[in-house]
Structure 1
Amino acid sequence: MVVDTIFLAAAIPAVLFAGISKGGFGSGAAFAATPLLALILEPAQAVGLMLPLLMMMDVASLKSYWGKWSKEHALRLALGAIPGVVLGALVFKNISADGLRLMVGLVAVGFVAYQLARSRGHLNTGKTFVAPFWGYFWGAVSGLTSFISHAGGPPSTTYLMGSKLGKTAYQATTVIVFWWINLIKFPFYLGLGMLDRGALSTYPWLVPTALVGVFIGVRAHNMIPETIFFRITYVLLTITGAKLILDALT
């Protein structure tokens, strides 16, 4: 993995963006880093590169949100995620690079479509997914999509939006759940050879960037409206998702 100007121009903004989201500002948007990186790296490389960084962001975020999560919602999502991660590993093992590009691209574009539909009132999750069963179900979907492209946020949000949690409790629940999901993903990534040793040369650049992003996200959580952040996210995801889909199909 070559650390050159093109790599840094894509990776530093992507990781900073993910750190800000992980810190609590623009929750659920952290996975935008993966489609951005997949434009310059093989999809498996992009996903593997991000996992240790996301795990570090999880640990950095835990201190600020420790004990503020909803135990019952976190437990359902965490338990449901286990079979989802196993299924994700099976999918990843048996799919081509173009298949991965297509899946990452579809998840990116699908995330934007989902958020827009929900914001305009076309999807009402508030009364639909409150039963305990849905916690396990959406936990499994989160485990699957998180394994493929670190995109577990939208499925978990679908469940948590109906739980009437406060902003901080919601963020704390997602932090502890994805700390767990990323932890159980690690041995599978290792076994599938997705953790490239060449990525070690990038971490002197990316680790400080990730920590700065988390710091900004925690500070911005209670201070700044998220509208602009999400608009930027949607534009980036639409462009990168469409590019990945086009590359996969052509």
Structure 2
Amino acid sequence: MPAFSNIDSPQLFWILAFISAFFIGFSKSGISGAGILAIPLMACIFPPKESTGILLPMLIMGDIIGVYFYRQHTQWKHILRALPWAFVGIIAGWLFMKYSDISQADFKKYIGVVVIVMLIVGEWFNRTSDEKTRHIPHSWYFAAIIGVTGGITTMTANAAGPVFAIYLLSLGLPKENFIGTTAWIFFILNTSKVLFSWELGFITEETLVFNAGMIPALIIGSLVGVKTVKYIKNNTFSILVKIFAILAAGYLIFK
């Protein structure tokens, strides 16, 4: 058990850690957004700084597994449209964390509000009968807004899942394409954040040792996620993703 844990009981520590890793794996290869269930558990067993550093490598491992299982379903045109803007957002988020006087907790509340607004806008895109409005999610400027917002959110809170979920749901992607595209987006973004997180002191040798021990739980969660998705219809999948996005936004706002 790591020395920086908040919990004295080794048994409880490993149970909560295993459950957290399971949900991360499940969200990466199954129901996107389910990883939000791991965030409060991680906050219980680790201080905020260590929790952030531990979470990122676990997310990357989950991304790798998701990329493997859904590698034939990736929609690269949507990734390439948003990705350059996401890198702009990551740099902006890093600069904010390094130099801003606004607390990270307050900033997460703003992010939560933005996610709620984007969910409402995304739902409007899906329900409107106006062809010009329905075309907006396919535009470069919508991808730019999503990319910058997602980049800032992923750098500051590891919580860009709802942002990119809104993007891909607005495009009307089937569940397999949604998961395959999401896996690649976050694999690229999360790996690009490693050096920034190391420089900020979030990732250390000790946190990486703990991450290695969580690989079995991540794999189990991913396998369960793959099996679960096969039995879920596209409409049900979209509803579940939206529910988890709302939960994520609520957690950021009211934490």
Q: TM-score, normalised by structure 2?
A: 0.78
After the TM superposition, which residues 231-246 of structure 1 pair with which residues of structure 2 at under 5 Å, given as runs? 233=244, 237=248, 241=252, 244=255
CA displacement 1:97-136 (0-9 Å, x = unmatched) = x92234446656875x569x65xx9941332433122112
Equivalence for 1:50: 55
Q: Greater helix percent: which structure?
A: 2
1:59 deviates by 1.1
Q: Is residue 125–residue 162 contact of structure 1 (8 Å, CA) maintained in 2?
A: yes
Q: Does 1:133 align with 2:138?
A: no
Equivalent in 13, 16, 19 of residue 22 of structure 2: 16
Please list the CA deviations of residues 15-71 of structure 1 after superposition, one character each: whole Å capped at 9, or x if unmatched: 211110101x22133244334322442322111101111111111111221132222
Shift of 1:188: 0.9
Matched residues, number: 238
Structure 2 CA distance, aligned partners of 1:164 and 1:230?
Answer: 13
Gapped regions of structure 1 (runs ≥ 5): 245-250
What is the deviation of 1:79?
1.4
Instruction: Give yes or no for contact 1:20–1:214 (8 Å, CA) kept in 2.
Output: yes
Pair 1:108–1:7, CA change in 2 (3 A): farther
The alpha-carbon distance between structure 1 residues 174 and 63, as it changes in their structure 2 partners (threshold 3 A), is: same
CA distance in 2, matches of 1:93, 1:9: 34
RMSD value, Cα: 3.2
Once the two structures are TM-superposed, the CA of residue 183 in structure 1 deviates from its matched residue by 1.3
Indicate yes or no: 2:201 matched with 1:196.
no
> 1:200-235, CA deviations, whole angstroms, 9 ceiling, x for partnerless residues?
442354221111111111121111465997699579
* More displaced 10-residue stretch of structure 1: 38-47 or 169-178: 38-47
In structure 1, how many angstroms separate the alpha carbons of the residues matched to 2:25 and 2:98? Answer: 28
AA in 2 matched with 1:125: F
Give the whole-Å Cα distance in 2 for the aligned partners of 1:122 and 1:143: 18
Equivalent in the alignment of 1:68: 73
Question: Structure 1 residue 146 and structure 2 residue 151: aligned?
Answer: no
Partner amino acid for 1:18? I
Match of 1:210 in 2: 218
Q: Is the 8 A contact 2:33 2:241 kept in 1?
A: no
**1:85 has 2:118 as partner:** no
Amino acid at match of 2:103: G
